[in-house]
Amino acid sequence: MVDTVNLRVPRDARFLSLLRLIIGGIGLRRDLSFDALDDLQLAVDSVLAEDESTGHDVSMGVAITDDALVVNLSPLQDRDLKDTLQQGRVPAGAESRCLDVCLLLRSLVDGYAVHELSNGFYEVELRKRVG
């Protein structure tokens, strides 16, 4: 059995802090260390900062499994971010990026994946082991 919490908020800095609050509460409930919790929150912040989509809400689902917290962020639309995550590196033509988001995510979470959604949107799944 997997417990899941879903939250949808406007894509506005005033509301995105709620995502951190939810992750923090769930992480502490699962005895996630403060360092691991901070890593997961930073990973979420990084993905959302790199996705320059506007005009729609952002949804976050947090699934609690026996061995991990799985965070899903959607709907994302930035094609450059999607290509970067799928290729596992900054793609040709985007070398001017200040930060390689793949390198950052590999250092913060235990795994990530990109899932296609409809209408050109996609979802990023972040996985952090617990215990």
pLDDT given at position 122 = 96
Once rounded to an integer, what is the mean pLDDT over residues 79-84? Answer: 86
**Three-state SS annotation for the chain:** CCEEEEEEECCCHHHHHHHHHHHHHHHHHCCCCHHHHHHHHHHHHHHHHHCCCCCCCEEEEEEECCCEEEEEEEEECCHHHHHHHHHCCCCCCCCCCCCCHHHHHHHHCCEEEEEECCCCCEEEEEEEECC
Q: Which fold has domain 3-129?
A: Heat Shock Protein 90 (3.30.565)
pLDDT given at position 100 = 76
pLDDT given at position 43 = 95
Q: In the chain, what percentage of residues exceed pLDDT 70?
A: 92
User: What pLDDT digit, counting tens, does each position of 50-70 carry?
Assistant: 887 777 899 999 998 888 999
pLDDT given at position 79 = 87
